[in-house]
Amino acid sequence: MRQPRIRLICPVSLDQSTLRAAASGLKHFERAGVLCESVKVSEEVIKGVKAGPFLLRAVDNTKGIRVTETNFKITLGELLSLHRKDIFGIGITNAPLVQLVNDVDERRVGVSMFNRGALVSLARINIELSGEERENAIKIAIAHEIGHIFRKSSEEHCKTTNCTMQGVDNFTDFVRRLVKPASEFCNSCSEAINVTISSLMHYA
């Protein structure tokens, strides 16, 4: 049996209070049996990380990142790599994330892909929130995107009120529906996440 691993990959300049807030978003997954670690970005730490090259570029980016559905997909380089790619990476970036949705550019707090990886942007969180509310937003954004890595469901998002896996329309909606109520995973999402984690342990 092999524990699934999540590696939180942070900018070198990230301060300790922000790192603690981000790491708190890993707690649910630690309790479920996932080995979690937090590291500062480097070429060395992305070895073994799924979609590592994309996360390396994204975490170091300061200008802006256009995200597409291909960012986390398996590349030929990954298939040919001598390093086993079995670590789930979640990157933190200070750059804004932009995604084209219905021909309109939308700013995103985070992006992710099931069984691959995730990326969270602090751009709007740092500008619009402060204090405890900011720290809670970082925690929930991390937990939500990692939830997508492990939560396999026919519905992309949960419809349960105050569940961390609820979908949101924009940043204001994110704060209103997830941050202010201090959302947690509902029983159904927790079970779906735990099933995936358990299957990964037995598969490994």
Work out the end-to-end distance of the chain between its first and last CA atoms, rounded to an integer number of angstroms.
Answer: 6
How far is it, in rounded angstroms, from Cα 114 to Cα 102? 22
Contacts (Cβ under 8 Å, ≥6 apart) of 5: 34, 35, 36, 37, 86, 87, 88
| Burial class of 146 by CB neighbour count within 10 A (0 to 12, 13 to 18, 19+) | buried
How far is it, in rounded angstroms, from Cα 52 to Cα 54? 5
Alpha helices in the chain (DSSP H): 16-24, 27-31, 52-60, 76-80, 123-128, 131-150, 171-174, 187-203
pLDDT, tens digit (0-9, with 9 covering 90-100), for 53-78: 999 999 999 889 988 878 888 766 66
Dihedral of the CA atoms 167, 46, 18, 135 (nearest 10)?
20
Task: Tell me which residue range forms the domain holding 43.
Answer: 5-203
Domain count of the fold of the chain: 1
Contacts (Cβ under 8 Å, ≥6 apart) of 143: 25, 26, 28, 164, 185
pLDDT, tens digit (0-9, with 9 covering 90-100), for 161-200: 999 999 998 999 999 999 999 999 999 999 999 999 999 8
Question: Which value, in Å, is the radius of gyration of the alpha carbons in the chain?
Answer: 16
Of 112, 91, 121, whose CA–CA distance to 10 is shortest?
Answer: 91
pLDDT, tens digit (0-9, with 9 covering 90-100), for 139-168: 999 999 999 999 988 788 999 999 999 999
**Inter-residue contact 49 to 17 (CB < 8 Å):** no
Task: Please report the DSSP string for 63-75 in residue order.
Answer: S-EEE-TTTTSPP
Question: Residue 118 belongs to what H/E stretch?
Answer: strand 117-121
How far is it, in rounded angstroms, from Cα 23 to Cα 37? 8
pLDDT, tens digit (0-9, with 9 covering 90-100), for 94-124: 999 998 777 778 889 999 999 999 999 999 9
Residue with tokens 């970005």: 41
For residue 109, CA distances in Å to 65, 66, 120 come to 12, 12, 6
Q: What CATH number corresponds to the domain at position 105? A: 3.40.390.10
